[in-house]
Amino acid sequence: MTIADSGFMMENGGSCLPYTPEQEKQIVDDLMNKSESNLREGNLYYVVSNRWFTSWQRYIGQGNREYPINRHFPDPQHLDVVPSKTVERPGPIDNSDIVLNGNGFEGDDLEILRTLEEGRDYVLVPREVWEKLFDWYKGGPALPRKMISQGITHKKFMVEIYRLCLKLTDSRDNSQSIIRLSKKASVHELYGMVCTLKAIEQEKARLWDYFNKQKQTILIASNRTLEESTLQMDQDWVHLCVLHLQILLEVQQDGYWPSGFGMDSTGNELALVPMEPPRSSVSIAGGPTLSNGYSTVQTSNLYRGSALGSTFTDMEDGYDGLRSVAKGDRGGLAGLQNLGNTCFMNSAIQCLVHTPPIVEYFLQDYTEEINKQNPLGMNGELALAFGELLRKLWSSGRTPVAPRAFKGKLARFAPQFSGYNQHDSQELLAFLLDGLHEDLNRVKQKPYIETKDSNGRPDVEVADECWRNHKARNDSLIVDVCQGQYKSTLVCPVCSKISITFDPFMYLSLPLPSTVTRIMTVTVFYGDGSGLPMPYTVTVLKHGYCKDLSQALAAACCLKSDENLLLAEVYEHRIFRYIDNPSELLTNIKDEERIVAYRLPKKRAGLTRLDIIHNCRQQCTPDSRKGDEKNFFGTPLVTYLGEDAQTGADIDIAVARLLSPLRRKPYPLLSKVHSVKENGSVSEDNPTNSCNTQYGSGNQSEYSTELEEMSRWDLSFHLSFTDERGSSREPIEKNSLIRPGQIIRVMLDWTDREHELYDASYLKDLPEVHKNGFTAKKTRPEAITLFSCLEAFLKEEPLGPQDMWYCPNCKEHRQATKKLDLWRLPDILVFHLKRFSYSRYLKNKLDTLVNFPIHNLDLSQYVKCKDAPSQSNVYELYAISNHYGGLGGGHYSAYAKLIDENRWYHFDDSHVSPVGESEIKTSAAYVLFYQRVKSAATPNGTGESSLGHASS
């Protein structure tokens, strides 16, 4: 049983807990630190429900003083906890809310819900921590998971939460079974599990990769992992259901394999496959390792089915060697099967495989270009897999292709794309272009080249030097056709040092300048008590910065030259956070939040800041002042104490000054002063300025003098020192000492007396930033042009605080200004439209229509290098990656132009259909692909520029 007050659990009526909450916390912290210093593949971790783990963290008091109030998600790093003495000890560990198949299973047999998110729904703890927690609390079920390494060239550790799920079909009776095991398990282990499950001898069993109800690849027992064998399929989120990767079991009977023929994925009859495959001089990535040695798959591990006596033929991605091939009739019109949330991959691939120079390159024999020595590459495997996929798509016919082998290679080299969650087509494109470059880099040994500063040299000289240095280390098809160069200029705001560099780029990520303004309401409070708080509604750019909001408020409230504004977010009558970063995006501030601005002096170095929160009491007595009663209300007040402020009396005076505009009667506090003075000569009935929100210097000076006189006797208010959450209190006495230059947080207790003297309504009902329904009707966003996006990308702007530049003159990091200019453009120019925005709590998509030219995009005026007059800067659009819908539930497709036909097609996964040129301009356009027009081919010798962008 649990005893709430003492925190002790009695067992068998006698023994008690051996550890206090503080000791439990220390033990777990030590074990966590030890585990983090010893990360290695194979370490065992346990999945624990965040619901239970949060209750345990509250119990041990973790985060009581270090973390802000969490009002969004139960993030274990931001827990709204109270001291452990007020929290009951949690019950047994309960993971029932994160498992799919209930409590009838244990450990490896349990399947964890697929929609969970680490930190929100579950946490991972090392084995040693789990053993301690289980020893203290019991419960379960235990959910052990192993740490695995992902990636080839850039390995990273991750805990395999969701294991590979295989659906086994027995060819004897078509019965089906589910097998779960790690993607790092070997094919030999898979055979062992299947043979144990079916009670058969391993020599009499063989397993097939069984995709689309066709036998694809036979698996031979070996130490090769399932991941390396491209067995990774296990779910299809498109239909929101689990789709298990299927394998087919065939059992030898009387020395013979089952008779009959199957059908392969290309529709050909599939005869029996011998256990020892025939040899061939042809090899491609993902297939058997034969004479050229470019594949990592061993002959004894895996081979593809084919007719007896034939060479290996494609059954999936069209692997037919590296010899030169020609485009098939009506080639380039095959779709790509959606393997489960892989529309993002299909969209990017279709754009690349319809890029003319890339098509021409991969249809030729590119064997000599493969770079297996590059440590930054992928042993040529990614280039081989992509090339063979392209060849299949450009072969004759329109049968959709399942890019399973390519997806497997992609997952091996880029673990972030493993599994079947939705991803970003531009992120995949960036990785793929970079990976293809490294696999095809003609430079086998990269020379060391020391970079030099411009030091006032001509731009042309510096740019050519940088480009030569880049080409000395990077020389590939991708560099030849996809990489350009831009000029970056940094200026130090202190010493005006100018630094100019020339850097390569593979695509341009363009921001979408917002044509929609945002209305924001912020309440301004006076930090010196010279006026009533006043809400101001200002209009700012929707995607502007906090400095824009401060500037608009400063103009609206007539901010003085010796003042500035301190923005803060108020939640539950306390300051949740100060918004003191001028470069913070306004998108981080949500409409339902409550924002205040405090007018404070500019020169406040060395002064003591005073934060005041309000607590309502019915009656204040000496006993109740020491109690824990809390009933927060109103808006916190902020001010600064004078340089000579040293005692609690100074805090009392500052509070009285801040509350002075809220007086119900003029100078009500003087009644107390009058009662204690020997000669009462002050009148309470002077009506002058009783309702004025702006106090003249005479009145304010007179009032300040009387406050100082009053402070000589006793404190006027019931004040306590507290923390930022108001969870602790220590009464402030008249002679309580304070240290200058720090932040003091004070709780002001309001009794009936304070409510009688001051009108607290001015502190209540803080308005939201934006209240729907009370503002003007929203207008439909206007279309913007590609040129305005490009100009926004090239405009000068200060670096963010997280991107400070180290100035070689100042020898310090400075928030320099940065200006980008295009210097040389590539033959293939890719524009990424930054439609997705991210704030603290949400992600958003901009559906603004961008008007982009289809023909004759002329960028001449943006290119600063004028020494190549023969090089055209006019481009034609040939492909678009589209994104429809919102985040999480969106869909990708592609528009691509067949250059030979001069006709556009819509590639929507497996479905390919013609589309009119007038239909391809939509608000779904996400990544735009342009090809340079040869100078002589430019129609009329002119292109569409930013000065005239008529609709194409």
Catalytic annotation, residues? 343, 891
* Distance from C-alpha of 591 to C-alpha of 174, rounded to nearest angstrom: 57
* Distance from C-alpha of 938 to C-alpha of 115, rounded to nearest angstrom: 52
For Cα atoms 874, 877, 882, give the angle at the middle one, nearest 5 degrees. Answer: 145
| Nearest-10 crossing angle of helices 425-439, 404-413 | 80
Dig out the tokens for 621 from the structure: 């007595």
Q: DSSP E strands: which ranges in 412-516?
A: 484-491, 498-505, 508-511
Contact 297, 409 (CB under 8 A): no
* Distance from C-alpha of 616 to C-alpha of 630, rounded to nearest angstrom: 7
* Distance from C-alpha of 596 to C-alpha of 576, rounded to nearest angstrom: 11
Task: Please state, in angstroms and as integers, the Cα–Cα distance from residue 156 to each residue in 159, 415, 632, following that order.
Answer: 10, 8, 47
* Cα 455 from chain centroid (whole Å): 38
Task: Please state, in angstroms and as integers, the Cα–Cα distance from residue 757 to each residue in 528, 637, 711, following that order.
Answer: 19, 18, 18
* Distance from C-alpha of 190 to C-alpha of 245, rounded to nearest angstrom: 13
* Distance from C-alpha of 46 to C-alpha of 125, rounded to nearest angstrom: 5
Residue 302 exposure: Cα atoms within 13 Å on the Cβ side: 26
3-state secondary structure of 82: coil
Residue with tokens 């090339």: 387
Contact 941, 933 (CB under 8 A): no
| Neighbour-count burial for 360-398, b at 16+ CB within 10 Å, e otherwise | ebbbeebeebbbeebeebbbbbbbbbbbbbbbbbbbeee
Q: Estimate the share of the chain in helix, then strand, then coil, as percent rounded to the nearest 5.
A: 25, 25, 50
Contact 378, 194 (CB under 8 A): no
* Distance from C-alpha of 817 to C-alpha of 799, rounded to nearest angstrom: 6
Strand order in the sheet with 718-721: 632-641, 608-616, 743-750, 718-721, 730-731
Instruction: Provide the β-strand partners of residue 487.
Output: 502, 821
Residue closest to 436 by CA, chosen among 470, 467, 409: 409
Dig out the tokens for 594 from the structure: 């409550």
**String of DSSP letters for 27-68:** HHHHHHHHHHTT--TT-EEEEEEHHHHHHHHHHHTTTTTTSP
Residue closest to 519 by CA, chosen among 876, 767, 865: 767
Dig out the tokens for 398 from the structure: 């329109």
Dig out the tokens for 194 from the structure: 């299947």
Contact 287, 304 (CB under 8 A): yes
Helix ranges, 144-247 (H): 187-198
Residue closest to 593 by CA, chosen among 813, 331, 769: 769
Instruction: Provide the β-strand partners of residue 629.
Output: none
Terminal-to-terminal C-alpha distance of the chain: 77
Task: Please state, in angstroms and as integers, the Cα–Cα distance from residue 225 to each residue in 233, 591, 822, following that order.
Answer: 14, 51, 47
For the chain, how many residues are written?
952
Dig out the tokens for 625 from the structure: 């002042």
**Ramachandran class of 475: left when φ > 0, alpha when ψ lies in -120 to 50, beta otherwise:** beta
Instruction: Provide the β-strand partners of residue 505.
Output: 484
